[in-house]
Amino acid sequence: MRQRNESGSILVSILIVTIFLTSFVYGLIAVGNVNLVRAKNRILLLQSQYAAESGADTAIAFLNSGNLGYTGTTSDIQVLNSATYRSTYSVTVSPGTDDKERIIQAEGKVYSPKGASQPTHTRKIQVTARRTTDTTADSMMSRNIIYIESGVKNIRAKDIYVNGYIQMDKNTTNMIAEKIFVADKNTGANNCSIGGVGNLVKPSSFSDPAQTRTRIVLAYNNCISPPGNASNANFEVSVNQPNIPKIQASNIPFNYVMDGTYQASPTGCNDWTAGTSPRNIPSTGNEKRTHYPDTGSNISTSCGTSGDLSLGSAQYNIRDHVHVRANLCAASACTPIFNNPTAQTKFIFVEGTINFNSMQTASGSGPIVFIVYGTDPPSKTSVCPLGGSVYLGNSGNTIAPKVYFNASNGICLNKTRFGADPALGGVSGKNVFISTNPGSPFDLRLDPVFPVQDIPIDLSWRATRYIRL
């Protein structure tokens, strides 16, 4: 038989297998490289989106800082500068459908390598921002302290909310409320959220028939005993609660309520001073012209006498929302009467201070909210140790259950006499100092049915819609 020579066949097989494996490996390398490039591109594209979102977040932060005239960037803003790439953003901010809305368009750019003259990856987004809140006011609020002087007898409020602490100075003082929330303490008084020598008293009835006890929620200790830190038949007490949210901002910008249809008064502040009582605000024929005046910011020297409006004892019919740049009665305290002829809550925005010896609301008046931006005047320091940008004195009886005071700074009730029960709609300020005249003929009671739900707090600009362009 003929012998076959097959000695080289194994080499051929090895060569074929080697070629196959080499091709396979190179294929894997190529596929892997493509995937790496794609992954890198996706990362860089995602980075451009992050840059755009940083621009939108920055625009919202500008709006929340009070810069409502912010229209965006004038040049690209660098976000990141790494070893291999850099990213930037640009932003434009334009008006929305109303004064509570802004349209933010942001573009993020990535340059890879970092020295590239043109962006290699871009992403555009559009964010709709609105000024909104989920929170409304309570009867009595303070962003710092509520201090009750020794001469006060009874204070009645539906709900009380305090960022700092409550201090009562006399053992015969009664604080009567359905709910009390205090989010901090007096560090100089045994960590007391509520301290002093007064009394906490359960109201005789509650707005909610299901509620039977005053609810007290404190970040630290209740140093008023009873009830102290223990619940009983009259009080449901929760102390040392670390997560009570604090009020961030209680004031309302006038353009949250007054849209672009409101205009400046053609006669300046004459509506407040001209003619006999009662005076219509705005005057007849000047509907929607309720800026007095609407130039510049803060107190206007063109309003009243060097920026001081003397209201005297006249009646003012508040027919629409009002914005006034002036102090009210700074030189000489007034005793005005206010009337809202409608059932709709009316807002009076005061870029100044209020100095009333007493005040009243007319019978049948609808609710009125004073938003007061002025700083605490030094002239009140001796009688208002915690500030008195809103001051109520003791000449005549205050009967204003349809008025709520909301101040950026201090509210001071200095030996104020009240001629009705309830006497005020509510108060909110940085500090609230109460030294009211007891029982003359009524103690201070805040109207439990005043529509505090119409008064937003913690207003902020928030993203409500996101579109990737």
How much is the average pLDDT of 253-269? 91
CA 304 to CA 330: how far, in whole Å?
11
How much is the average pLDDT of 415-435? 97
Question: What is the chain's mean pLDDT, rounded?
Answer: 93
The pLDDT assigned to 1 comes to 45
How much is the average pLDDT of 201-230? 96
Both tokens of 299, joined, read 């107190």
Ordered by start, the domain boundaries in the chain are 9-132, 262-457
Residue 37: band (very low, low, confident or very high) from pLDDT cuts 50, 70, 90: low
254, 346 Cβ separation under 8 angstroms: no
pLDDT above 60 (res 3): no
294, 303 Cβ separation under 8 angstroms: no
The pLDDT assigned to 32 comes to 62
The pLDDT assigned to 6 comes to 56
pLDDT above 90 (res 56): yes
The pLDDT assigned to 344 comes to 97
CA 37 to CA 111: how far, in whole Å?
15
Compare 445 and 41 and report the one with higher pLDDT.
Answer: 445
CA 171 to CA 427: how far, in whole Å?
24
The pLDDT assigned to 420 comes to 95
Which of 38-42, 212-216, 285-289, 429-433 has the lowest average pLDDT? 38-42
Comparing CA positions, the residue from 227, 211, 230, 110 lying closest to residue 159 is 211
pLDDT above 80 (res 12): no
Give the pLDDT confidence of 297-316 residue by residue, as tens digits. 889 999 999 999 999 999 99
pLDDT above 60 (res 114): yes
pLDDT above 70 (res 292): yes
Tell me the percentage of the chain whose pLDDT exceeds 90.
84
How much is the average pLDDT of 149-160? 96
Residue 53: band (very low, low, confident or very high) from pLDDT cuts 50, 70, 90: very high
The pLDDT assigned to 456 comes to 96
Which of 12-26, 46-60, 440-454 has the lowest average pLDDT? 12-26
Comparing CA positions, the residue from 467, 466, 460, 464 lying closest to residue 63 is 460
Which of 29-33, 249-253, 384-388, 453-457 has the lowest average pLDDT? 29-33
The pLDDT assigned to 345 comes to 98
CA 299 to CA 10: how far, in whole Å?
101
Residue 330: band (very low, low, confident or very high) from pLDDT cuts 50, 70, 90: very high
